[in-house]
Chain A
């Protein structure tokens, strides 16, 4: 926070204010139809230029006392005003709905599919999920559109507001709306693990040396139990604490994915490994279950079961 510029800080305050305002105006709903109270309209940069043109023409017409130039300036002004209504019409009546919760692994992109519905044609709609800058341009109205959002942390999130905007027909006004849909999305832990876990999961016995020792030395991560610390090594090199990881207990049950009671970075690590294991098990077609410190998902198989397990990992 301290290295934010004033502009960024102001922007943050501005957004907080807008959020609060929008929360009152349009709380999240399953289906949102764009109506008058949800659509905002302001001139675009080109619209300001156009207004400047109108003023110039008015000055020109007045100075030359030329009615035709004045007429043209009024014609452009009435076009300018009319395009407020037209850009409103281009947005109103559009119904947004997000039928399914999107899912993704951390570090990837979550891609919620938004279904769009309307009785009339809409042109040149631009959609984006709010924190994201990249817009999806829809020349015409498709049945559904897939937006994308970069995610980094696991969890279950509320779908952010979707900005729907359009400059159709003359690019003079931008009509937009911030739509909150009652939907969430899942971010699962990214699937990765150290080589041992990987080998175990694939039941590759080509490196027996490590399995024999049963123990693995690894750098200490915050949240790991202090009991596993190798104190002798800590005395030698206090900046790099090392722990003994007891693999055997974890992999004693091959069809169970077990996440030990850890916290912090160590937990994240374990979850990532568990995620990988789950994926592998599902791929191999065996029945498997998930054991979390607080909860156990009984053994089963299939995509729904995998989803259930991954969701539990995300929430853990």
Chain B
């Protein structure tokens, strides 16, 4: 069995697929080594070479393993484990000689393929992994079956029919437990908003078309201008870029019980399915007041997960669409801090302050300034000098949301109003049929919050410059050449675009029903089952009764002609239509002879049947019985013709 070239090819293919799937977990040189090993094996299979000697393989694998071990710090425990496992598998395949070694190989392949799901949960990739698992299963079957055994379609489908309900029932009903212990996580580069907001960082982000998260609303879709998904608070300004304050980073680890003062505002309840970002910061609308257990609300209404989001995470939030309350004196002071530079901005802020002493009026004036003066909204703003805000406000007047937010926050701070830049996402694409809002990285946005009357009021300067950006989406306000930046290459093809959309919808159901299935959904399912228990019971009972009746009828029917000889039973079964007109007293053979005479076209084979039948019955000849069977099978078409002929007469 081991000599089978096909099996070796399958295993090499599986290992290659594993290498591709686990690419993220491996450094470049690690991948190169694996690629070399696998290609060498593939080459030696195709050249029909003998397996490499065990000693040599052990030495090579030992050296490589030491290399991996030296890299342990950089790679992390999980990646190290995956590397060692894949190394074991490739080395085993190189020196494969015995059957038990092949069994070990199949076992390790199963485990590695399962580990791929830690890194990939995309539907398409998951289906691919499942296919590779099936290939591995096939090789497993081959190890224990003779070379001549063929996969039988009927048997396979029968096996599927048993496995599928069993599988689903286990998945739906088997108890789901919380994690038993802390586990090492993958260290993959994070995506989405970073802790640092440069004047150019959001422009880069919006060219990324990948999904950030999806939202289902329990309470109906809010108005578009309310869809400000808060993700980051940038409170430290160094004269050019904004950073998340280090205190804020620490505070985000602590739970913060928000005071609920929702006497007038309605509560929005929604569910967010966040894509893996490798960050713990999550998204919520306005002031979140409650969330599911897997996430928590930190200070200032920031939502955070317990650990970096390394796979799709689904959580429930309820928010009040009210401004965030002031946290502390310290927070207020922190948002007044200034950095040297930008003198023109400072002057402009002071003059505004003199004109409008009230914060609300000042913000209103600022918005009017942006909309009335020739300010432009652009994805490709010119480079700015040392005093970036001055350069933007009084010189280029062209910028993206981060420029406007940064400038506005600075003006407010110069005017003595505590203000900060908020990073997050705005809007999203609503899919009414599927009932969810898809928020992509393209929807990344920055706006401003300023403190007024003890609450952090929301101010979006971009809305003043380009209100369509808020009311529709980014595409609608960009000129054609800039829009082309967003839809690079193949994304412009219409058909592919729709296909991609369909896939995204499928992926949505995938993440809701498969990835997002948790103990809450399971409890709900159990509750539903309990509720409909009588109905389910009746249906099952009915099925049982029908099945039993069918079984009884079948046995009674099959028992009736049992005192006839096997050959007679066979004829009655195969020639039922022909023999239905036979007088009961007449023997079968004489009746058939009569039929043969009246249908000369069928004379020859009927005669053969009669002879064989008589031999089988009267001499009790088993060989003749077998031949009779064969003849009836062979004369399938003639039999049909004869039936037709008899029916027509």
Contacts and interface: CB of A to CB of B under 8 A. Distances in A.
Interface of A: 46, 49-50, 53, 56-57, 59-79, 81-82, 85-86, 123-124, 139-140, 167-171
A64 B176 CA distance: 12
A78 B166 contact: yes
A67 B114 contact: no
Contact of A68 (B174, B178, B515): B515
B180 A123 contact: no
B114 A169 contact: no
Given A46-B103, A53-B107, 20 more contacts: A53-B111, A57-B114, A60-B115, A61-B114, A62-B179, A63-B179, A64-B311, A69-B118, A71-B167, A74-B170, A76-B110, A77-B170, A78-B163, A85-B162, A123-B145, A123-B146, A123-B149, A139-B146, A170-B140, A171-B140
Interface string B123-167: 000100110010001001101111111000000000100110011
Nearest to B313: A65
Contacts of A65: 179, 311, 518
Contacts of A171: 103, 140, 143-144
Given A86-B159, A169-B141, A57 B111 contact: yes
Contact of A140 (B113, B143, B146, B517): B146
A136 to B, nearest CB: 14
Contacts of B144: 124, 167-171
Nearest to B140: A170
Which 5 A/B pairs are nearest by Cβ-Cβ distance? Answer: A139-B146, A68-B117, A171-B144, A74-B170, A78-B166
Nearest to B152: A121
B100 to A, nearest CB: 8
A34 B5 CA distance: 36
A68 B126 contact: yes
Contacts of A60: 114-115, 118
A64 B114 contact: no
A72 B177 contact: no
B85 to A, nearest CB: 12
Contact of A78 (B143, B170, B514): B170
Nearest to A59: B180
9 contacts: A53-B107, A63-B180, A65-B518, A74-B171, A79-B163, A139-B147, A139-B148, A169-B145, A171-B103
A114 B205 CA distance: 76
A112 B8 CA distance: 39
A59 B141 CA distance: 26
Contact of A66 (B118, B130, B159, B170): B118
Interface string B93-118: 00000000001000100110111011
A62 B118 CA distance: 12
A83 to B, nearest CB: 9
A116 B163 CA distance: 32
B147 to A, nearest CB: 8
Contacts of B29: none
Most B C-beta atoms less than 10 A away, residue of A57, A63, A72, A85: A72
Contacts of A57: 110-111, 114
B183 interface: yes
B538 interface: no
A257 B120 CA distance: 86
Interface in B154-200: 159, 162-163, 166-167, 170-171, 174, 176-181, 183
B83 interface: no
A205 to B, nearest CB: 56
B426 interface: no
Contacts, number: 107
Contacts of B518: 65
B181 A63 contact: yes
Contacts of A74: 167, 170-171, 174
Contacts of A71: 167, 171, 514
A70 B117 CA distance: 10
A53 B110 contact: yes
A53 B114 CA distance: 10
B162 A64 contact: no
Nearest to B180: A63
Contacts of B388: none
Nearest to B165: A78
A50 B107 CA distance: 7
Nearest to A74: B170
Contacts of B149: 123
Contacts of B179: 62-65
A51 B113 CA distance: 16
A62 B171 contact: no
B121 interface: yes
A124 B114 CA distance: 30
A270 B107 CA distance: 61
Contacts of B146: 123-124, 139-140
A284 B639 CA distance: 62
B118 to A, nearest CB: 6
A69 B144 CA distance: 26
A85 B516 CA distance: 33
B565 to A, nearest CB: 19
A67 B517 contact: yes
A106 B288 CA distance: 92
Contacts of B147: 139
A72 B114 contact: yes
B517 A62 contact: no
Given A46-B103, A139-B148, A67 B141 contact: no
Nearest to A76: B110
B270 to A, nearest CB: 21
A246 B638 CA distance: 82
Contacts of B113: 72
A78 B114 contact: no
A312 B178 CA distance: 77
Contact of A82 (B103, B163, B515): B163
Given A72-B113, A74-B174, A167-B144, A62 B159 contact: no
Given A56-B111, A62-B177, A79-B163, A68 B121 contact: yes
A72 B162 contact: no
Given A124-B144, A124-B145, A64 B118 contact: yes
B595 to A, nearest CB: 31
The residue in B113, B117, B143, B167 that gathers the most chain A C-beta atoms within 10 A of its C-beta is: B117
A65 to B, nearest CB: 6
B396 to A, nearest CB: 48
Contact of B162 (A53, A70, A82, A140): A82
Contacts of A59: 180
Contact of B114 (A73, A168, A170): A73
A82 B145 contact: no
Contacts of A82: 159, 162-163, 166
Given A62-B179, A64-B183, A82-B166, A168 B117 contact: no
A82 to B, nearest CB: 6
Nearest to B174: A74
A281 to B, nearest CB: 40
Contacts of B183: 63-64
Given A82-B166, A124-B145, A66 B311 contact: yes
A85 B126 CA distance: 29
